[in-house]
């Protein structure tokens, strides 16, 4: 019998019109890896049976969760951002600028892993999926990717796809590490080695309702958490002074392939944690600061804003 290969496995996503109900239309997405899966633990009971032999186990609730690693780009990534933030505000007539920010709700998606090397095609379908965490590490010369942590509700093994003719592979206009630039506190930052961030969307995964067959009945959003780390050459005490005083600052990450293909990630209100530099050895020293993002009074009214510029209106 043929063995399924990762290289021929495919990932299809589609926005749900009703939570936990399979989407009607899908999009074939580029991705690097995916460990989203359904699971249900077999648990050990405390039942005594008069011998030292264990009693029949019992099953716990069903879970759907995992991480999708996706390449960062200026076109296909629109769909991941829409999954995180909902529909953007779009301006322009080509190129288009799509602005995503934190809203009160998040859409739910159906995600399908397609395995078609087998003698009988299999389609693992996950419904009621939302993004729980988005994280990135920028800097160096490695491939620029995003980690997209997903929580879902229902997993189903099917022999036919939810969309027999999904939109063909979305164009990949890749963004690279060498195209990254930073602004800190409104000015260019030219001595950074690495910046990382995580946006946690605060999903509550604990809503297992009685009579729900061990499946989540709801997946509500909570307060968003924004955190990160900035690593720079130790050339002065500018950032250290901000951390010491608790001074509000900002951090803007721009990744530009061209004027019509780029992504801007804005953290317009941040504070650094205090962290004095150390001396690990004879090499050049670094400033290594964690930060927290928030919304207080900035005009964008969002702790994180993402602007994606591309040639697709997404009407």
Nearest Cα neighbor of 266 from 69, 85, 70, 30 is 85
The pLDDT, as a whole number, for residue 94 is 85
The pLDDT, as a whole number, for residue 119 is 85
Mean pLDDT for the stretch of residues 298-303: 96
**In degrees rounded to 5, what are phi and psi of residue 236?**
-160, -175
Residue 177, phi-psi category: left (phi > 0), alpha (psi -120 to 50), beta (remainder): alpha
Name the band, by pLDDT with cuts 50, 70 and 90, for residue 32: very high
Cβ-contact 216, 153 below 8 angstroms: yes
The pLDDT, as a whole number, for residue 57 is 96
The pLDDT, as a whole number, for residue 37 is 94
C-alpha span between 99 and 306 (Å, rounded): 6
The pLDDT, as a whole number, for residue 315 is 59
Q: What is the pTM assigned to this prediction?
A: 0.94
C-alpha span between 119 and 159 (Å, rounded): 11
Q: Is the pLDDT of residue 161 over 80?
A: yes
């Amino acid at each position: 019998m043929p063995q399924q290969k990762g290289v021929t496995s495919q990932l299809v996503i589609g926005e749900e019109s009703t939570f936990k109900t399979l989407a009607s239309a899908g999009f074939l997405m580029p991705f690097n890896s995916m460990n989203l899966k359904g699971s249900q633990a077999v648990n050990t009971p405390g039942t005594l049976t008069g011998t030292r032999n264990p009693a029949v186990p019992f099953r716990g609730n069903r879970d759907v969760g995992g991480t999708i690693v996706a390449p960062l780009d200026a076109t296909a990534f629109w769909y991941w951002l829409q999954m995180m933030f909902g529909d953007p505000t779009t301006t322009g007539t080509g190129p288009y600028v799509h602005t995503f920010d934190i809203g009160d709700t998040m859409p739910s998606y159906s995600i399908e892993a397609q395995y078609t090397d087998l003698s009988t095609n299999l389609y693992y379908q996950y419904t009621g999926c939302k993004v729980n965490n988005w994280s990135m590490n920028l800097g160096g010369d490695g491939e620029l990717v995003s980690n997209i942590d997903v929580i879902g509700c229902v997993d189903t093994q099917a022999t036919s796809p939810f969309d027999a003719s999904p939109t063909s592979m979305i164009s990949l206009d890749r963004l690279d590490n060498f195209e990254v630039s930073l602004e800190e506190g409104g000015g260019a930052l030219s001595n950074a080695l690495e910046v990382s961030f995580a946006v946690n969307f605060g999903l509550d995964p604990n809503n297992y309702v009685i009579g729900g067959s061990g499946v989540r009945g709801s997946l509500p959003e909570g307060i968003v958490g924004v955190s990160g780390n900035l690593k720079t050459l130790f050339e002065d005490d500018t950032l250290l002074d901000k951390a010491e005083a608790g001074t509000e600052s900002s951090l803007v990450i721009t990744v530009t392939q061209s004027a019509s293909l780029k992504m801007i990630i804005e953290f317009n209100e941040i504070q650094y944690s205090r962290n004095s530099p150390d001396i690990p050895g004879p090499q050049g020293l670094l400033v290594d600061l964690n930060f927290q993002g928030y919304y207080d009074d900035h005009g964008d009214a969002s702790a994180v804003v993402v602007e994606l510029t591309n040639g697709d209106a997404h009407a």
